[in-house]
């Protein structure tokens, strides 16, 4: 069964924020990606280097990332064929329409996508949706309780006040006083801030978007 979603960019926020797995209602054993920069740091015939953010995404959903090999079109033949069909069935009917928000565009795509998935396949009596419901859906693992949130990182030195300064938010977060003067890694998402020293988490906070304020946990 095919899923189509319009995004503003191919950047990390849009690529990892896609609702694909929530459309299918489960997590596949593996996800095959193209060699775009958001997914692959370095292309290689046998051992491509996957980006840290995509590895974190895969860890959150307990799945495996399998990038297609460069110069091996057969690796993504099914996807390329699906793209061609989707272009004809979904993009073509919408190409002359005007949309003023991503939400309205995706709603129009959703309406056409449902009909496409439910329509009988060529020379078949069953649809893509039929195959998914009867065969593929049972192979999916359950979705985690929380949707993945993209994480960012920053380096900082612990101040004498036993706080670190997250320059992105202009906010201070506490750490144990024994780390004063140490250089630490700050890993932050939309809602949380985690602070690590020597790969060990030493503090956790809810993210606060208040400039020049202090968040302290005793």
Condensed to tens digits (0 to 9), the pLDDT of residues 9-31 reads: 888 888 888 889 999 999 999 99
Task: Specify whether 68 is located in the same domain as 92.
Answer: yes
Kindly state whether residue 7 falls inside one of the protein's structural domains. Answer: no
Kindly state whether residue 100 falls inside one of the protein's structural domains. Answer: yes
- Number of domains composing the chain: 2
Identify the CATH number of the domain in which residue 48 sits. 3.30.420.10
Kindly state whether residue 45 falls inside one of the protein's structural domains. Answer: yes
Task: Specify whether 22 is located in the same domain as 119.
Answer: yes
Place of tokens 């202009």: 170
pLDDT at 218: 80
Strands 171-174 and 214-215: parallel
Kindly state whether residue 145 falls inside one of the protein's structural domains. Answer: no
Radius of gyration of the chain from Cα atoms? 22
Task: Specify whether 175 is located in the same domain as 121.
Answer: no
Task: Specify whether 83 is located in the same domain as 43.
Answer: yes
Last residue of a domain, one of 98, 114, 139: 139
- Name the CA dihedral angle for 129, 131, 133, 139, rounded to a multiple of 10 degrees: -130
Taking only the tens place, the pLDDT of each residue in 76-126 is 667 778 888 889 999 999 999 999 999 999 999 999 999 999 999 989 999
Task: Specify whether 71 is located in the same domain as 115.
Answer: yes
Range of the domain at 202: 152-215
CA-CA distance, 194 to 196, in Å (whole number)? 7
Strands 183-188 and 152-157: antiparallel
Kindly state whether residue 144 falls inside one of the protein's structural domains. Answer: no
Last residue of a domain, one of 139, 160, 181: 139
Taking only the tens place, the pLDDT of each residue in 155-171 is 999 999 999 999 999 99
């Amino acid at each position: 069964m095919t899923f189509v979603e319009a995004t503003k960019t191919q950047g990390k926020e849009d690529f990892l924020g896609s609702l694909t797995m929530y459309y299918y209602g489960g997590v596949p054993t593996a996800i095959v990606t193209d060699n775009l920069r958001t997914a692959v740091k370095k292309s290689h015939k046998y051992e491509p280097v996957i980006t840290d953010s995509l590895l974190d995404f895969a860890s959150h959903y307990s799945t495996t990332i399998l990038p297609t090999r460069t110069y091996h079109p057969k690796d993504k033949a099914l996807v390329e064929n699906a793209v061609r069909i989707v272009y004809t069935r979904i993009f073509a009917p919408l190409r002359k329409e005007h949309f003023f928000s991503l939400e309205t565009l995706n709603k129009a795509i959703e309406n056409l996508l449902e009909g496409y998935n439910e329509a009988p396949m060529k020379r078949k009596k069953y649809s893509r949706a039929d195959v998914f419901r009867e065969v593929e859906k049972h192979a999916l693992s359950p979705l985690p309780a929380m949707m993945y949130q993209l994480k960012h990182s920053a380096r900082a030195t612990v101040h004498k006040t036993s706080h670190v300064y997250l320059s992105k938010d202009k906010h201070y977060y506490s750490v144990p006083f024994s780390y004063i003067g140490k250089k630490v890694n700050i890993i932050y998402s939309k809602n949380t801030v985690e602070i690590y020293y020597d790969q060990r988490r030493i503090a956790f906070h809810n993210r606060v978007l208040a400039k020049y304020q202090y968040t302290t946990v005793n």
